[in-house]
Structure 1
């Protein structure tokens, strides 16, 4: 079995009977795992992961001790061993993939640095977060930070309807909890009315929050809701996340991860590895998303978090992915600074 090229790793499961010499079996496994005898099987095993699962609690304790002293992984349940060994194969597959070097991207680091350097620890306002994304070439629709109802109505009149209105405050992370979003506003009167009503609601719900203003922008065409995020891991450093977005990210957890910065091939693999990838390809009559702009978003978020260690967390959720020529658009973003 060990010499069989079709065998990638070995799991020894022992369910001892009354006459089973558990210590002898453990010692024999240790011999095969080493190179004392040098048979073909031993040479094959030296190149293959080996794990054991001796079942029987106290009855197999001596055998488990022998295995652990020899550095051979032991799992109480075979299921645990199978999960660990599946992880080994996944790591090996990743290592066999072609090395994909990050490519230089056209970004405005100075503009992003200007926003980040002046912001305190904690969450940026949405206006500040959008400025950072825009500096790194993310598809951010035009917006304006307004402080009066007339200012919001004037911007909407100049740029067209329908528009959405959103509260901007570094103290309000979840806008829906304070009714801080108004959608599909179709004329100046609706914009003014929504502005005044939202201002009152937010003041009641969060009297402690400092309100930077209210963001007005055009409504974004509907599309596939995705999430592109990043965080700074204590061990691995900056890590990028991609998956199905909106409320579905919490329901299904259909996401993939990669170290940042990353190259185009790695970003494409992230997209292919989520179960929702078929939706983006036009599953059962669904509109086919333009994948290249999604790849670009992943690459640019990876570059952003690699360039600025102050960024502890970043979530674009949702990123709306549409068919060509629309591409994708940032619908909401949160950035937390350390």
Structure 2
């Protein structure tokens, strides 16, 4: 089974990123001046949304988005058939917390607003994706914007000499005028793996997971390590299971803040679990029928799998589908 980009959460970005044009200042200026230029705006790592008819949209006319506040950074995301698209970073203090007046509310109703634009909404990207509150292509565009704006927000100074840096190459590089260093955004690779043994797979849960949720094991890839080596190391460290063959299944951009999830299926060589309690609250083997029940919300103990937006869901779906052949 193969997966199209649109089957993976935060993937399916429709933009031509125009990477070959980022050094062309005249072209960049022309794109920004185009009447169909659009922008997404972020404040405190969250997108600013507007109502478009009865639905939400994160895309604003560029001129309108520039009026939301003092723009810290402006980045060219690319262009599609609807025109060029940019990402704008607002200062944190552009947004203010607003308390709900609903006395009967039993959950925290605090939300952020732009005081000068009360009709706009500020939402976290993850629940927007989980609830499919925006089109998939727009969610993917926001993932790109969130990752690159995080880079700018957290790299105002040169790590080599400490001098202030400035944006360059359409927002895809930061240059240090003091020592000449050039700094590029990074994507942190994460190996996430469905460890299988015949009709069983290994799932674990962390304390921060919602009660009852089990997911695939995962961990960051370290320097000087292949993805296959990272899979074997992480599974041994967290669950004490030896792993043999590892195969690639799919990947996913994960903008929290700027990771790339590389999904694999790994063959277990042992069965006895030894949990690292510092990493996992629980870890156990699940049969195909049990995982299917978790997918369908009918597990006897109320266990369930991650939301379809997560690549762990894709890996488990892939394994279930292969078992039906």
Q: Same fold, TM exceeding 0.5?
A: no
Report which of the two has the higher share of helix. Answer: 1
Work out which structure has the larger RCO, using CA pairs closer than 8 Å and 6 or more positions apart in sequence.
2
Give me the TM-score of the superposition, normalised by structure 1: 0.21
Tell me which structure has the larger Cα radius of gyration: 1
